[in-house]
Amino acid sequence: MDSNQLPKGDSTCRIFMIDTGCNLVPLAKLLVEPHWPGHEYLNLPTYSWLIINDKTNEHVLFDLGMRKDWENCTPHIVSVVEAALPGISIDNDVPSILKANNIELEKISAAILSHWHFDHTGNMALFPKTTKAIFGPEWKKNFGTFYPENEEAVYHAYEFEGREVIELETKVFNEEIAGLKAYDYFGNGSMYLLHSPGHTTDHMTALVRTTVGQNGEDDTFMLLGGDSCHFAGVLRPTHANPLPETFTQSSDTKFPNSISLPCPCTTWTSCHPRAQDHDEARKLPFYVPSTADPGSFYLDQPLALKTISKLQALDANPNVFVTIAHDPTLGEVLPKLDSGRTVNDWKEAGYKKKSMWGWLKELPRDGKPGMPLLVDGQYRAGTKTADLSH
């Protein structure tokens, strides 16, 4: 199959978005560059996905958010959170959300974890032992030992005790989609896991078939991008997906009242931190992944850029809806699990159009933050233990 061709098939999955209740405010310099005064922090809500295979009714999760009691993570992770996340507040967790929506945890056959980071792996101990934990390539080599045996470990041993833990070896990714190695997870073409390294070695994304085209129409897909990037301004705009010249009252993108419409894109292109002129600014992402040393959350920034370029090509395809795990706009646009509605009708409902440029409102204006911060400090069990300024 041509690397740019999407796979044909007649099987789909239902996808439900879960707002995990985890809101993070990290230092922007650890995730994106260049530095932009007024954008010293990023707003990162955290989303995961319930995926149900339409033919087999198998239920899986893609990512788990962060455990609600983050202070009970392993000592190493607690120290990382305290140092790298000036703002953190978690008021829910995925198992509780599933139960509140009458979804028995015993139905979840697997938690597919996009990568090993703490804000995606939740607390597996809250799931039945029948729920498998599935990681990407090279996970065991780097993180397959547990606390307290390994004092620097990122997981407690009790989270995985008695549970099937699977590392998907490189050899199982035996297809290629959009230039990325792919694994047909259900074996019926309804969902492919794509090895998408750069942020971490084990990082995976998921390409899910959301509809099968009828009467000559193409199939549609959602790309669940995990942490391929942390801010949509790393993904967009591009030559194939340029910034509109003007946002009007009838624009699908929602902006706060502080931005009056119609609004020319020069509001943002005139201060683009990487572009030399207006034309370039409409076609060049505002940021790239961080190369901060020490502290960047990207293990291999050049490799991350290669992965992002593959996602950008998919993003320009009108039949693919590319999402990332921490995009604030998704929470404003997409229905959540408690609505009972899937996001499979994303194309018909216009969710892609409505969320495409919503990240612009996060950008600074006149040296001041574009939007209020999600969290004003570090919270443990609902109590603030440190101010953001610490």
pLDDT at 3: 44
pLDDT at 344: 98
User: Coil, strand, or helix at residue 204?
Assistant: strand
Low-confidence residues in the chain, pLDDT < 70: 1-4, 249-252, 254, 257, 390
Domain ranges of the chain: 13-367
How far apart (Å, rounded) are the C-alpha atoms in residues 247 and 131?
46
User: What's the length of the chain?
Assistant: 390
Under CATH, which number does the domain 13-367 receive? 3.60.15.10
Helix and strand counts by DSSP (H, E) for the chain:
11, 19
Q: Which two tokens stand for residue 277?
A: 């002129």
Three-state secondary structure along 93-139?
A: CHHHHHHHCCCCHHHEEEEECCCCCHHHHCCHHHCCCCCEEEECCCH
Distance of CA 122 to the CA centre of its chain: 14
Q: What is the pTM of this model?
A: 0.96
Contact by Cβ (8 Å): 210, 337: no
**∠ CA(292), CA(199), CA(42), 5° rounding?**
60
How far apart (Å, rounded) are the C-alpha atoms in residues 214 and 28?
44
